[in-house]
Amino acid sequence: MSESYNICLDVGGTKVLGAIFNENREIVYRLKKKSKGEGNSTQNVEKVIVSVVEEMIEESGISKKNIHAISSSAPGVIDQDAGIVLFTPNLPWRNYNIKQSMEEKFGIPFYIGNDVNLGVLGEYKYGAARGYRNVVGFFVGTGMGGGLILNGELFTGNQFKAAEYGHMILDPEGPLCNCGQRGCLEAFSSKQGMSAYIRQQVSRGRESLMADAVAEGVFRSKHLKKALAAKDPVAMEAVDRACHYLAVATGNMINTISPDLVIYGGGIIEAMGDLFLSKILAEVDRYCMTSIRPTVDIKNASLGDDSVIYGALALIEEAK
């Protein structure tokens, strides 16, 4: 009997990351393509996804008939059961039945879920959250995503809109968030939030090594690491502020959910190592009930960039 493979995708606003898994859950081929330059339309983004799948099949030498399923993430609100992207802020998809489109194209079962939900699910099934039953996940990147495992199951809530605790309001008079509210966790602790703080300080006449890096958008993690190594005061303040509000939000979630584990993932966490974790741990006890905190582990995710594609693999395996 020939071996069966699964194709898993991490679809973002600027790139598509693909991986082929064998039956032992090992990645045997991977590919990343930029998607931004293809034009902002449903068809063009799908064209990149299709090209990634086709190229991986061709270059890996694996026969299409040996592909068991294809699974993908996307940012935004996803009807995971129907395979429909209801809304996504960084891609041109509204009520888009990508499952139907992809299955018609390849004749292979297709699954899709929210990117951070799948990141947390991947960690729960194969990474740092294995063995836990109730998991709160914060994924810190350009924005701030959340994922929630309750009693061993991914919790997506009413109409698949749960775990948006990046928009937990921590200061009603705080900075404006892209969602339209003020004082959200995302507005303080994401790369967008930290970049906005640094720009504000520079506009007030303060000098910072980060000035050019945030002039027209969010910084790249390597610039933040360089500024922190040089003990740039503004960069250090931005990180301390971000970690403070992450600690407050973590305490709120611990008091609300009483999870077994809180994990932190996403690009900024991966890039900064244990820096954010150590700062959060130094503060979080102040914001938790003393009767709950000792029962909760807090740590970083372990799968790095692959958290989401492993979550996509979990979707396939749960559907068997």
pLDDT for the residue numbered 40: 55
Q: Is the predicted pLDDT of residue 38 greater than 60, yes or no?
A: no
CA distance 177 to 184: 6
Q: Say how far apart CA 236 and CA 114 lie, in whole Å.
A: 32
Confidence (pLDDT) at 45:
81
Q: What is the 3-state secondary structure (H, E, C) of the chain?
A: CCCCEEEEEEECCCEEEEEEECCCCCEEEEEEEECHHHCCCHHHHHHHHHHHHHHHHHHHCCCHHHEEEEEEEECCEEECCCCEEEECCCCCCEEECHHHHHHHHHCCCEEEEEHHHHHHHHHHHHCCCCCCCCEEEEEECCCEEEEEEECCEECCCHHHCCCCHHHCECCCCCCECCCCCECEHHHHHCHHHHHHHHHHHHHCCCCCCCCCCCCCCCCCHHHHHHHHHCCCHHHHHHHHHHHHHHHHHHHHHHHHHCCCEEEEECHHHHHHCCHHHHHHHHHHHHHCCCCCHHHCEEEECCCHHHHHHHHHHHHHHHHC
pLDDT exceeds 80 at position 1:
no
Q: What sign does the CA torsion over 270, 273, 262, 143 have?
A: negative
Cα gap 176→215, rounded to integer Å: 18
Look over the chain and give the mean of its residue pLDDT values, rounded to a whole number.
Answer: 93
β-partners of residue 139 are 145, 265
% of the chain residues with pLDDT over 90: 84
The pLDDT confidence band at residue 42, using thresholds 50, 70 and 90, is low
pLDDT at 13 over 80: no
The average pLDDT across 2-10 equals 93
What's the average model confidence in pLDDT over 231-255?
98
Of the listed ranges 90-99, 124-133, 202-211, the one predicted with least confidence: 90-99
Would you place residue 76 in the very low, low, confident or very high pLDDT band (cuts 50, 70, 90)? confident
Q: What is the pLDDT of residues 136-193, one digit of tens each?
A: 999 999 899 999 999 999 999 999 999 999 999 999 999 999 889 999 999 999 999 9
pLDDT of residue 299: 97
Residue 37 has pLDDT above 60, yes or no: no
Q: What is the pLDDT of residue 2?
A: 74
The pTM of the full predicted model, rounded to 2 decimals, is: 0.93
Give me 159's structure tokens.
Answer: 């109409």
State the amino acid at position 49 in one-letter form. I
Per-residue pLDDT, averaged over 69-97, amounts to 89
229, pLDDT greater than 60 = yes
Closest residue by Cα to residue 117 from 96, 98, 138: 138
Q: What is the C-alpha to C-alpha distance for residues 306 and 303, in angstroms, rounded to an integer? A: 5
Q: What is the pLDDT of residue 243?
A: 98
Decide if pLDDT at 91 tops 80. no
8 A C-beta contact, residue 163 and residue 113: no
- The CA-CA-CA angle for residues 217, 194, 210, to 5°, reads 65
Residue 259, phi then psi, degrees to nearest 5: -75, 165
Span 110-120, mean pLDDT? 95
What is the pLDDT averaged over residues 267-282?
95
Residue in this structure with the two tokens 């693909």, named with its chain if needed: 18
Q: Average pLDDT of 59-75?
A: 94
CA 256 → CA 144, 174, 248, 250, 292, distances in Å? 19, 23, 12, 10, 10
- Residue 252: predicted pLDDT: 97
- Of 35-49, 133-147, 173-187, 298-312, the least confident: 35-49
pLDDT score at 36: 60
Written as one letter, the residue type at 189 is S
Residue tagged 């003990």 (tokens): 231
Given this model, what pLDDT does residue 288 score?
Answer: 96
Decide: 288 and 242 in contact? Cβ < 8 Å: no
Residue written as token pair 């959200």: 184
**Chain position carrying tokens 């996804």:** 49
Return the higher-pLDDT residue of 89 and 204.
Answer: 204
- Residue 319 pLDDT: 85
Domains detected in the chain: 5-115+307-319 (3.30.420.40), 128-301 (3.30.420.40)
Structure tokens at 71: 């699974």
